[in-house]
Structure 1
């Protein structure tokens, strides 16, 4: 009986292949989006910009807060088993 079901489902094989590829693409995109490395690099660069006088304290605080919130989102995602 299992062989008959496999034969009957054969026309759907390309769709299953596309689904598999899409799943891999989504997982790769999530890994890249939830990678803390680039956010940490942005924090370092932000600190350098502040020290060099390229941005003022108000701009620094605003951008730092956004980056720290992003890091918290990444940590929460990873803690949740994402």
Structure 2
């Protein structure tokens, strides 16, 4: 893009900068959400809640399925086979 194009788009620089920041925040949130260690820790905490009687078997099964889905996605991402999945 030439100098004229840069001058014309200069007022949009804060918007482009905000877009970059939003993308970075989303990527970090997604990285944390799909972190296998974090998902395993959540599974362990979920099992403790079941054993403590805080949740019943049905709720446990539902939440466990969601966590196992996240773990599967995380492991596929680590293997490099599922780079296109996003939040």
TM-score by length of 2: 0.62
Name which one, 1 or 2, has greater alpha-carbon Rg.
1
RMSD: 3.0
Partner deviation per Cα, 1:32-64 (whole Å, 9 max, x = no partner): 111111221233452x678xx646xx83x8368
Counterpart of 1:81? 83
Q: Of Structure 1 and Structure 2, which has the larger fraction of its residues in helix?
A: 1
Distance 1:40-1:15 versus aligned 2 partners, 3 A rule: same
Contact map agreement 2:43 2:64 (CA 8 A) in 1: no
Q: How many residues align?
A: 77
Take 1:31 and 1:75, find their aligned partners in 2: how far apart are those partners?
12
Q: Runs of 5+ in structure 1 lacking a partner?
A: none
Distance 1:13-1:49 versus aligned 2 partners, 3 A rule: closer
TM-score by length of 1: 0.65
Counterpart of 1:62? 61
